[in-house]
Chains A and B, each alone.
Chain A
């Protein structure tokens, strides 16, 4: 009774079936990953917009502007008019802003930083009141002094001429852009991979994937590829922005820059994979990642040179992957160094990436 319909059913089972090649799964994973990322508005902001906004803000705040006028206050008492007149004859008149104020008011305004130096007439001479801890005050004292001496007719002992040189390359923005690029590659590598994985684990999606014939290597390869595609976009955007908006000059080869960025992106992706290899919750992994990234934000020379730290710790700082990446990017972009001259940082970044990847694969938990 039961067997007979089953025979018929067996025939009905003939269905249209697609035959998939070796790389279909990988291609589908990669496409799914990219689609998911670009459908997440936050991703677009954090990866693409935030470095641009940061560069723009810092670039404007720290732009190299013409030296500000030196602000001088002369205390109003006998002799103050003569001093004002002497300053009026100074060849640097355009850069001086001179005011005459009663003693109490002059003292107060100097203390509040509204003036850089206070001139007090003392008989035929002048007393300078300045603050050695304020660079602009030191500068103002020496400018006021040379203006007074020149106004009084003293001749310089050595003849000097000045030539202006403010070519791109030495400005703060030139230093900043490669650092921002490095920071961005670190951030998006770690968040991009680590978050994605822990989220999938939390949703039991990883478990669901391994219940299919999906190649586990294909899964990791698709994640890495998605990182590289995004990396190209980040690189183009951040560096392109520096070139277009701040007339940065890229001295080294673009190929070297792309290669170093690839290494950086992959290395931080591996580190992200490691931090996410066992975590079950987004909160856990975000905590671990902050602990891992914090030292690099501080020490790796994103916003200022790590040379400012004590000489004893600099060799350690140079062992951090972001330091290596930033150093390489700056050397290639700003100094036009070749890739072959970057042996040490290249080794640092490869070792970090390699060890992280090895450990991540070893400890990785799919369920």
Chain B
């Protein structure tokens, strides 16, 4: 079975007021049933990209095709097929949850019954509460509900869990997974690497308006040169070049930062004994030694030399 392409964009560029180039040539291909993540720091161009795909911004150049349609000729049709949740929409506070969903459902030719959506997003209890009285997590679930009530085939979520507590984040993830399991396609932006890692089937890492890497989470992580990280610090930093550590067996990458040396390794059971022997032979003293699985954060740091969240 050939996988159907749902979103396809080529050479997407967006220049604001002839100066700031927010998006500098992005290509994306999203297949049916995929959960596709745009991962990147704040200001990388994620929101601009997703808003162009949502038909809310015009691209300066490039092509966008969604479900075989484009914004220039099939805007009305496309809007019926897409569900959108923006980064910061504050819905009317003096409407109840049910009224809000009835309103949004009313915009679509074919909408889902409000009770079904309420039930699916665990909002039934709050159905008659004013939006202004909801907690942050409930508000975010309602925002996603307004996207789902139109029975969309593709869901666009811009930073769906930013500012939420861990439990609310997990609830949002469950909603996304359920939509996906029912055959829906999802594109979401995030600057949380754990979110991208757990939720997305395919990720494009965006920095300065460009895709700097893409693949499945596993592909991206193995691309750093190993699935494990060995990090250590010595009491007195020896005068050796980073390259020195590459002589250890199984080391795929080396990164030194603030006295801590991080090795990306494929087989830690070979690397660690060799490292300990080396330390002992030279009479150095270890202050710290940890080992863990590589993460997307490591991928980003490897690619840019910066951390994903500089805060």
Binding site for B on A (CB under 8 A): 3, 6-7, 9-10, 12-13, 15-20, 24-25, 27-29, 31-32, 35-36, 39-40, 203-205, 207-214, 367
CB–CB A19/B89 < 8 A: no
Task: Classify the interface of chain B: helix, strand, loop or mixed.
Answer: loop
Between A and B, 8 residue pairs with Cβ closer than 8 Å are A6-B1, A9-B181, A17-B110, A17-B112, A35-B99, A208-B86, A210-B56, A211-B56
Q: Are B84 and A211 in contact (CB under 8 A)?
A: yes
Contact yes or no, A211 B54, CB < 8 A: yes
Q: How far is the CB of B167 from chain A (nearest CB, A)?
A: 25
- The 8 Å CB contact of B88, one of A24, A204, A210, is A204
Instruction: Chain A residues near B90: list those with CB within 8 A.
Output: 203-205
Residues of B bordering A, CB below 8 Å: 1, 32-33, 54-56, 76, 79-80, 82, 84, 86, 88-92, 94-95, 99, 102-113, 116, 130, 146, 150-151, 181-184
Judging by beta carbons under 8 Å apart, are B56 and A367 in contact? yes
Q: Once the chains bind, are A18 and B89 in contact (CB under 8 Å)?
A: no
Residues of B within 8 A of A211 (CB): 54-56, 79, 82, 84, 86
Select A18's contact among B33, B55, B104, B111, beta carbons within 8 Å: B111
Q: Sorted from nearest, which 9 A-B pairs have the closest CB atoms? A: A28-B106, A203-B90, A213-B79, A211-B84, A39-B94, A212-B107, A214-B107, A13-B183, A208-B89
Question: Nearest B residue to A211 by beta-carbon distance?
Answer: B84
Q: Which residue of B lies closest to A218 (CB)?
A: B107
Task: Using A20-B108, A25-B107, A205-B92 as known contacts, list a sample of 7 further A-B pairs with CB atoms less than 8 Å apart, ordered by residue number in A.
Answer: A9-B33, A15-B116, A17-B111, A28-B107, A39-B94, A211-B56, A213-B109
User: Across the interface, do B95 and A207 meet the contact criterion of CB distance under 8 Å?
Assistant: no
Least CB distance, A39 to chain B, in whole angstroms: 4
Question: Contact at A18–B112, with CB atoms within 8 Å?
Answer: yes
**Closest beta carbon of chain A to B240's beta carbon, Å:** 46
CB atoms of A12 and B108 under 8 A apart: no
Please name all residues of chain A whose beta carbon is closer than 8 Å to the beta carbon of B94 when the two chains form the complex: 35-36, 39-40
Q: A39-B94, A210-B56, A211-B55 are in contact. Are A19 and B107 (CB under 8 A)?
A: no
Contact across chains for A213 and B89 when beta carbons are under 8 A apart: no
Indicate if the CB atoms of B106 and A16 lie closer than 8 Å.
no
* Smallest beta-carbon distance A269→chain B, Å: 20
Minimum distance in angstroms from A229 CB to a CB of chain B? 17
Which residues of chain A are within 8 angstroms of B89 by Cβ–Cβ distance?
Answer: 203-205, 207-208
Cα–Cα distance between A29 and B91 once the two chains are bound (Å): 13
Tell me, in angstroms, the Cα distance from A310 to B181 when the chains sit together. Answer: 76
Interfacial chain A residues near B146, Cβ < 8 Å: 208
Q: Give which listed residue, A3, A40, A204, A213, contacts B86 with CB less than 8 A.
A: A204
CA distance A210 to B116 in the complex (A): 24
Which residues from B are CB-within-8-Å of A212? Answer: 79, 84, 104, 107-108, 150
Closest to B146 in A: A208
A20 to B104, CA, bound (A): 12
The residue on A at minimum CB distance from B114 is A18
CB-based contact B183/A18 at 8 Å: no
Q: Which of B103, B182, B184 has the most CB of A within 10 A?
A: B103
**Closest CB of chain A to B216's CB: distance in Å?**
12
Q: Please give, as numbers and ranges, the residues of chain A lying within 8 Å of B95 by CB-CB distance.
A: 32, 35-36
Q: How far is the CB of A293 from chain B (nearest CB, A)?
A: 26
Least Cβ–Cβ distance between A20 and chain B, in angstroms: 6
CA distance A204 to B54 in the complex (A): 15
Please tell me if the beta carbons of B183 and A12 are within 8 angstroms of each other in the complex: yes
Complex Cα distance, B100 from A36, in Å, reads: 11
Q: Evaluate contact between A16 and B113: CB separation under 8 angstroms.
A: yes
Task: With CB as the reference atom, state the residue of chain B lying closest to A26.
Answer: B106
CB-based contact A20/B109 at 8 Å? yes
Contact across chains for A207 and B102 when beta carbons are under 8 A apart: no
Residues of A within 8 A of B112 (CB): 15-18
Least Cβ–Cβ distance between B202 and chain A, in angstroms: 12
B40 to chain A, nearest CB (A): 21
Q: Shortest distance in angstroms between B252's beta carbon and chain A's nearest beta carbon?
A: 28
A304 to chain B, nearest CB (A): 39
